[in-house]
Amino acid sequence: MLNKKSVDDINVAGKKVLVRCDFNVPLKDGQITDENRLVAALPTIKKLISDGGKVILCSHLGKPKGEPKPELSLAPVAVRLSELLGQEVKFAADDNVVGDNAKAAVAAMKDGEVVLLQNTRYRAEETKNGEAFSKDLASLCDVFVNDAFGTAHRAHCSNVGVTEYVDTAVVGYLMQKEIDFLGNAVNNPERPMVAILGGAKVADKLKVIDNLLEKCDTLIIGGGMAYTFLKAQGLEVGKSLVDDEKIDYCKEMMAKAEKLGKNLYLPIDTTVADGFPNPIDAEIEVSVVAANAIPADKEGLDIGPATCEKFAEAVKTAKTVVWNGPMGVFENPILAKGTIAVAQALADTDATTIIGGGDSAAAVNQLGFADKMTHISTGGGASLEFLEGKDLPGVVAANDK
């Protein structure tokens, strides 16, 4: 059970507060095309403003690889944040992030004002957790707040290094929510707990499968990774995606499920085609076959209707459901039926439903089910590592209660 101090546990009146946000938003021609991450950061920022803190925001954007790249400047974020907050967010445009502009802007701040620093990854030390940059960031503030779950699995200057030089380091509301749902729902779930894993490769989810088998009551496996499990059962999977090096691992996991008395559900039918759609959303001819009757010249690209029903049935009796990874090639309307069926089953249940970032979050958002889920994680890699049971450096670095 993680018990970290949050913004509700501190008094920031008159203090300079550095907040690590996740403003890694998609930009096209200098315009923000999806502002979910900005909106998600507002509750923490507004709380610190209303408490009379001097709020200094920082974030990375894209991968500038340690040098200034004008197209990855956070300037558009400052403009949009000003509109969303209804007050000016002053942008400190220093290529070295903590430069003359930033120092002057912070020195001139009044309580409740907001400054945004330049892209933290303009500095090469950021991703190496270098001491000099951590000290520069710490020199601007009295208090540090980490609200960027998306980078919590990385130890960088702006989320971990800085905490070594600041007395008070707490988590923001977004981060708190991730700890509450992802961390605690997995470690202390209301039962029965069902975990649904999809996506392409078994290799990406090795530790997740292992960890969730110990925590959940039922583990459902769909997506491309299911075919490696089917092959491990000795079935013909045709041209479907298979992780040949992981067949023994799949056998071990099936044996482990049996030994622990857990349900491990695999597809009972599958949607097949002659090959992968190219382009990905191209019209494609498909047929449905039983999972034990995949023709040698066909490729499985989605779960079939009987599997959709079986998976949905398992969700109905659950009290906690964690989902990570689509059930098929959901970017193609013809091959999105399995993912839609799972999303619909989660939308219809009263259980606590947690979507672990990445493709499943994208699928739920695209399909219009976002408001029906209890929690959609903001971190892809971070949520996977949380589900693996790993300690995340960005979370660990905050002060304990």
| Helices vs. strands in the chain: H and E counts, helices first | 14, 17
Question: Considering 174, 200, 219, which residue would you say is the last residue of a domain?
Answer: 174
The answer to whether residue 353 is domain-embedded is yes
How does the average pLDDT of the chain come out, rounded? Answer: 95
Domain that holds residue 230: 181-387
Instruction: Give yes or no: 99 in active site.
Output: no
Beta bridge partners of 143: 17, 168
CATH at residue 25: 3.40.50.1260
At 53 the three-state DSSP class reads: coil
Instruction: Let me know if residue 166 belongs to a domain.
Output: yes
Pick the catalytic residue: 103, 201, 256, 372? 201
Active site residue 90: no
pLDDT of 47-96, one tens digit each? 999 999 999 999 999 999 999 999 999 999 999 999 999 999 999 999 99
Q: How many domains does the chain have?
A: 2
Q: Would you list which residues are annotated within the binding site for (2R)-3-phosphoglycerate?
A: 37, 121, 154
Cα separation of 276 and 317, whole Å?
35
State the average pLDDT over residues 126-150. 97
Look at residue 337 and tell me if it is in a domain: yes
On whether the CB atoms of residues 213 and 256 are closer than 8 A, the answer is yes
- Feature table: binding site: 22-24, 37, 60-63, 121, 154, 205, 300, 331, 357-360
* Between 364 and 233, residue with greater pLDDT: 233
Pick the closest to residue 84 from 54, 134, 123, 43 (CA basis): 43
The pLDDT confidence band at residue 187, using thresholds 50, 70 and 90, is: confident
Q: Which of 52, 99, 238, 381 is catalytic?
A: 381
What pLDDT is recorded for position 1?
Answer: 56
Q: Report yes or no: 353 and 312 within 8 Å, Cβ to Cβ.
A: no
Beta bridge partners of 221: 197
On whether both 105 and 217 belong to a single domain, the answer is no
| 2 found inside a domain | no
pTM above 0.85, yes or no: yes
Residues 345 and 365 both lie in one domain: yes
| Same domain (yes/no): 194, 122 | no
DSSP state of 205: G
Closest to 365 in 3D by CA, of 356, 350, 376: 376
Helix, strand, coil share (%) of the chain residues, nearest 5: 40, 15, 40
Which one from 37, 54, 177, 215 is the annotated catalytic residue? 37
Residue 358 has a pLDDT of 77
- Name which residue leads in pLDDT, 357 or 31: 31
Note whether 230 and 117 are same-domain residues: no
Binding residues for substrate: 22-24, 37, 60-63, 121, 154
Give the model's pLDDT for residue 284: 96
Residues 208 and 157 occupy one common structural domain: no
Kindly name the residue from 224, 325, 358, 394 that is annotated as catalytic: 358
Binding residues for ATP: 205, 300, 331, 357-360
User: Looking at the domain assignment, is residue 401 inside a domain?
Assistant: no
Three-state DSSP class for residue 265:
strand
Which of 152, 174, 196 is a domain's end point? 174
Starting at the edge strand found earlier in the chain, the sheet holding 193-197 runs 263-265, 218-221, 193-197, 320-324, 352-355, 375-376
Active-site residue 130, yes or no? no
Q: Would you state the pLDDT for residue 2?
A: 75
In terms of domains, do 221 and 255 share one?
yes
Mean per-residue pLDDT for 223-249? Answer: 97
The predicted pLDDT at position 388 comes to 86
Same-domain check for residues 146 and 220: no
What are 246-255's pLDDT values in tens digits?
999 999 999 9
Instruction: Give the per-residue pLDDT at 395.
Output: 93
pLDDT at 201: 86
76 and 218: one domain? Answer: no
Better pLDDT: 266 or 387 = 266
Going by the DSSP 8-state scheme, the letter that residue 368 receives in this structure is: T
Determine, yes or no, domain membership for 379: yes
Please state whether the peptide bond connecting residue 192 to the residue before it is cis, i.e. omega within 30 degrees of 0.
yes
Residues 215 and 324 in one domain: yes
Pairing of strands 114-117, 54-58: parallel
Choose between 110 and 388: higher pLDDT: 110
Q: Phi, psi (5° rounding) for residue 289?
A: -130, 160
Interval 107-132: pLDDT, tens: 999 999 999 999 999 999 999 999 99
- Assess if residue 215 is contained within a domain: yes
Tell me whether residue 201 is one of the annotated catalytic residues: yes
What confidence tens digit (pLDDT) does each residue in 269-306 have? 999 999 999 999 999 999 999 999 999 999 999 999 99
Co-location of 148 and 222 in the same domain: no
Same domain, 74 and 186: no
- Residue 396 domain-assigned? no
Structural tokens at position 247: 């067949």
34 and 118 share one domain: yes
Of the candidates 134, 206, 118, which has an alpha carbon nearest to the alpha carbon of residue 384? 206
- Eight-state DSSP code of residue 332: S
CA distance 313 to 309: 6
Cβ 243 vs Cβ 203: under 8 Å: yes
* pLDDT of res. 148: 96
**pLDDT value for 363:** 86
Of 140, 174, 208, the last residue of a domain is 174
d(CA 296, CA 23) in angstroms, rounded, equals 47
Type of residue found at 258: E
